[in-house]
Structure 1
Amino acid sequence: MFNSVSITDQIYWVGINDRRTALFENLWPLDHGVAYNSYLIVDEKIALVDTVDAGQTSEYLGKIKKIIGSDRKIDYLIVNHMEPDHSGTMQAIVELYPDIKIVGNPKTFDMIQNFYGITENHYSVKEGDILDLGQHKLKFYMTPMVHWPETMMAYEETNHILFSGDAFGSFGALDGGIFNDEVDMHFFEEEMRRYYSNIVGKYGATVQAALKKLSSLEIRTICSTHGPIWRNDIATIVSLYDQWSKYEAEEGVVIVYGTMYGNTGKMAETIGRTLSEEGIKNIKIYDASKTHASFILRDIWKYKGLIIGSCAYNTAMFPPVQNLTDKLIHVGLKNRILGIFGTYSWNGGGVSNLMKFAEQIKLPVVTEPVEAKCAACGNDIDGCMEMAKQMAKKLREQA
């Protein structure tokens, strides 16, 4: 989208849509692209809030110049977050506006020097400091580890706009619509959850601290660095972040399995069918080899029940399942009910290592694990059905 978009008569979205990059952070699939959001406040003083990825420099600078022309200069660059997808054009901005003051905190400036070698025109702010632009005043709130140590937010007091950095952000390019009431929010809620669970999820405690700090503010608009701008229904997005950061979930079950020849997958199908017969409607079954872990983790964040199956592979878990369980340990998943199943041929490793995972992550296991030799039959099938019944019972008890 080449156009800039007015948020108010003096505040503009000057972001960039990236539909070329395949992997965010070279890890997470971008099937629908991603937006890098930047904002320009034009007042007696001009402030630019965050920048965009370096690969979009020409289009980005063109948007800025179209608004302020060639004669006016940008007075301040607000750096809420130093990750290169938001600071990547900083050098180009400094070259174009050499007198610009870079606004951040001490941790910001250390990163600026290490990333870009920029050591001059630093304007340091701390909690509660206010930057006066004229009609607009920016008040700063430190939000460390949401999700980097230098992250902060800027609150514009005149229009009650929160420039939130990566918080409240989402995967997905902005396909014409910029505001939450202009886009398909079902799609963006799912991509917000995927973004949160994979990028921010580990930092639930610091997200809770940030939400508490911001709770007294009147927020009418949230301008994140990714995804749509929220200009109404603010309570909804704040509530989602509150739920996700407390590891709260709704009734439903994710079944994820790893299989070489299909036998562990057949057990997953039995579990899924029995859950359905027990009245559970939200059931997601994933082959860990076929679906990227980021999508699986998104749904694990959504649903209360988690059932993991693995065949034995060289006396260990099947590698894609091992990758997922490592990720779950890393993000500190809580408040889930766990089930475990799997298969082996000549030696174990899948189920026994899943049990070690359960001990490490400290999630309750709903029944004894079910482990079939070669292919499930008889008691193995009965065990899968019983696991599903017990999972459904536990979900109903906690509803």
Structure 2
Amino acid sequence: MDDNMMEYNVSKLTSNLYLLRFKDTSTKYFEGLWEIPEGIMYNSYVYTSNEGAIVFDTWKMGLGNEFLEALRNIVDLRDVRYIVVHHMEPDHSGILKTLVEKADPIVLGHPLVKNMAESFYSVSMKFRPVKDGEEIVFDDEKIIFYHTPWLHWPETIMSYITSWKILLTCDAFGSYGVFKEVWADELSGEDYERYLWYAKKYFANVIGIHYEWVVKNLEKLVSRGVTPNLVLPSHGLLLRGDPLDYMYKKYKSWGHGEPEQGKTLLIYTSMYGFVERTVKIIREYFSGLNQDIDMIGFTDSNRPSISDVIGKAFDAENIILVSATYDADLYPLMKHIASLITRKTPRGKKVAIIAQYGWGGKAGKILEEMMSTQGFKVVGVVEFKAGEEERYRDKIIGLIESLKK
């Protein structure tokens, strides 16, 4: 990682709880997949007491020296009694081996963590699995661990510090983006809106495939009496007050797969401009109705972020896909995008498909099968030879109007 891109902060959250945050602006593709020009932050938390310290998660692999330097600002490494592993993905557990070797703590986590850690890091550690609902008392503070599977791996857990009503949620309630602020309620205006977009995009990219587990886990936490005043995720800004209430409502909505009413997203791929002429017809139709439509186009001069596409598609009510046949198949980029939509966004959305071809059409049928077999409602397919969009104008408009039925 570029030294010029390294920055970390240590912030005191309560009388004995600290945030260790690394601001990563050098990672361009989160998980090697999702474009994040906005960067990302890794949050670790340290609870201190007369009995020693508990470290909740660490940072990404490769940041060991920086993490230990930040941690030494708070405690002597020999005083670290426990490490809590909420989730084994290496952006959270990447410094586990280094810290175990320096401090020799007891490692707490889901029963699956032990074998994963030994495999990932060849680490020998004093591991203690925690059951769902198990608690520990540390310097008179009760901390309860809850299993929250598929948010977003099966071994994910959360920690609840009861007296402060603090919930440490790991990936849940996280976001992309690098901010100087610690709390979301310290933002306002465009900065706050930008944070909300990063949070939705992050949810769609990372948790989207498991969205139905969000409600299951939230309902379980409520049934166990977990009513946090503070939510501390492992990425992004921390939540309290109005932003916490808002994000909790959004997570319930996203977890139920609820779309934004009336939101239509058009995604198109165009090699030589023929598809763009079709898109112009659709744009003019919506403009004539004074209705907004979000359009994302992949052309020979424009390559939008696919992570943005999935973020926008997640809560769309209607999706219009416009592409072409390529090598007697669906255009590869559209095939990739459509596959991600079927996996990462809620089923049941209405989809209109428009496809073009040079000498033989294949794309329309392939797209229709891809979407319909995964539970999306394909309202129709219009397919024609490139350059004949005006002859098919009425059919194109009719297809778009069928999204309203």
TM-score, length of structure 2 as denominator length: 0.92
- Within a 5 Å distance, the mapping from 1:1-399 to structure 2 comes to 1-45=7-51, 46-69=53-76, 73-98=79-104, 100-173=105-178, 175-183=179-187, 184-215=191-222, 216-233=225-242, 234-250=244-260, 251-281=262-292, 283-289=293-299, 290-331=303-344, 333-366=346-379, 368-391=380-403, 393-394=404-405
Amino acid in structure 1 at the alignment position of 2:372: E
Asked if the contact 2:142/2:161 (under 8 Å) is kept, the reply is: yes
How much identity, in percent, do the aligned residues show? 27
Runs of 4+ in 1 over 4 A off after TM superposition: none
How far did 1:47 drift?
0.5
Distance 1:168 1:36, change over 3 A: same
Asked if the contact 2:100/2:125 (under 8 Å) is kept, the reply is: no
In 2: Cα distance, 1:50 partner to 1:358 partner:
38
In 1: Cα distance, 2:33 partner to 2:389 partner:
39
How far did 1:225 drift?
0.6
Asked if the contact 1:19/1:33 (under 8 Å) is kept, the reply is: yes
Asked if the contact 1:275/1:389 (under 8 Å) is kept, the reply is: no
Asked if the contact 1:312/1:343 (under 8 Å) is kept, the reply is: yes
In 1: Cα distance, 2:371 partner to 2:149 partner:
30
How far did 1:52 drift?
0.3
How far did 1:118 drift?
2.5
Counterpart of 2:4 in structure 1 is none
How far did 1:76 drift?
0.5
In 2: Cα distance, 1:179 partner to 1:198 partner:
22
Query: SS in structure 1 opposite 2:46?
Result: strand
How far did 1:346 drift?
0.4
How far did 1:261 drift?
0.8
Asked if the contact 2:41/2:236 (under 8 Å) is kept, the reply is: yes
In 2: Cα distance, 1:316 partner to 1:55 partner:
42
In 2: Cα distance, 1:298 partner to 1:276 partner:
24
In 2: Cα distance, 1:205 partner to 1:2 partner:
34
Asked if the contact 2:204/2:345 (under 8 Å) is kept, the reply is: no
Amino acid in structure 1 at the alignment position of 2:184: N
CA RMSD, Structure 1 to Structure 2 (Å): 1.6
In 1: Cα distance, 2:384 partner to 2:176 partner:
39
Query: SS in structure 1 opposite 2:346?
Result: coil
Matched positions, count: 388
Distance 1:369 1:16, change over 3 A: same
Amino acid in structure 2 at the alignment position of 1:93: L
In 2: Cα distance, 1:321 partner to 1:3 partner:
41
Amino acid in structure 2 at the alignment position of 1:94: V
In 2: Cα distance, 1:378 partner to 1:144 partner:
51
Asked if the contact 2:313/2:345 (under 8 Å) is kept, the reply is: no
Asked if the contact 2:314/2:344 (under 8 Å) is kept, the reply is: no
Superimposed CA distance per residue, residues 147-205 of structure 1 (whole angstroms, 9 cap, x where no aligned partner): 111101001101111100111111112x2101111232211211111111111111122
How far did 1:332 drift?
5.8
Q: Which moved more, 1:88-97 or 1:329-338?
A: 329-338
How far did 1:69 drift?
4.2
Q: Which moved more, 1:223-232 or 1:257-266?
A: 257-266
Amino acid in structure 1 at the alignment position of 2:180: G
Amino acid in structure 1 at the alignment position of 2:370: F
Amino acid in structure 1 at the alignment position of 2:31: E
Asked if the contact 1:256/1:286 (under 8 Å) is kept, the reply is: yes
Q: Which runs of 5+ in 1 are unaligned?
A: 395-399
Superimposed CA distance per residue, residues 101-151 of structure 1 (whole angstroms, 9 cap, x where no aligned partner): 101121111211111222431122101111211142210100111111110
Q: Which moved more, 1:372-381 or 1:210-219?
A: 372-381
Query: SS in structure 2 opposite 1:361?
Result: coil
Q: Which runs of 5+ in 2 are unaligned?
A: 1-6
How far did 1:389 drift?
2.8
TM-score, length of structure 1 as denominator length: 0.93
Superimposed CA distance per residue, residues 235-268 of structure 1 (whole angstroms, 9 cap, x where no aligned partner): 2111111111222111211101112111112212
Query: SS in structure 1 opposite 2:322?
Result: strand
In 2: Cα distance, 1:52 partner to 1:358 partner:
38
In 2: Cα distance, 1:67 partner to 1:78 partner:
17
In 2: Cα distance, 1:276 partner to 1:136 partner:
59
Query: SS in structure 2 opposite 1:82?
Result: coil
